[in-house]
Amino acid sequence: MGEARQDDRRQKRAPRPLDAARLDELALQYAARYATTAAKLQRHLQRKLKERGWTGDAPPDADTSAESLDQAGAVALATAVAFARRKRLGPFAREATATDPASRQKAAQKAMAAMLRAGHGLDVARRVLAAPDPAAAEALVDDISE
């Protein structure tokens, strides 16, 4: 009898079918996490629709990708700026006492590596780390959100 219960617990529940709101949410999450193209995002959404099914009245619209990519770009930039601020990277770094170019270059490489390890895209990390001061980095987020 104990084995039967373990088998029941091990069985996964079938995932709930998607609706329009959840499909948009999945698109935004995927685009924010991965540096992706519209075609890759569309393939990802098609795969999710095939796996989970659809509950909406109208047929699913997997071409919400351009709008989701724009939203994800703003989210990715905002999270990268927040990460740089929290870890004191790039424009948020404490003033370094070393003024030699080799030390500055090494610090820039370490900051870039930290941003990439945290999952931020290369273009986003470059934009954030290239900001001359904290106000300029914050302005990057404000410019996109407007």
Give tens-digit pLDDT for 65-102.
556 666 777 778 888 898 999 999 999 998 655 578 88
Kindly list the domain boundaries of the chain, sorted by start residue. 15-145
Report yes or no: 24 and 68 within 8 Å, Cβ to Cβ.
yes
- 18 φ, ψ (degrees, to nearest 5): -85, 150
- Residue 125 vs residue 21, higher pLDDT: 125
Nearest Cα residue to 41 out of 79, 68, 21, 60? 68
Torsion, Cα 39 41 43 47, to 10 degrees, reads -170
Q: Does the reported pTM lie above 0.85?
A: no
Residue 14 scores a pLDDT above 80:
no
The answer for residues whose C-beta is within 8 angstroms of residue 55's C-beta and 6 or more apart is 17, 18, 19
Query: Token match 């780390």: residue?
Result: 129
pLDDT tens, residue by residue, 23-40: 888 887 887 777 666 677
Quick one: DSSP state of residue 92?
Answer: G
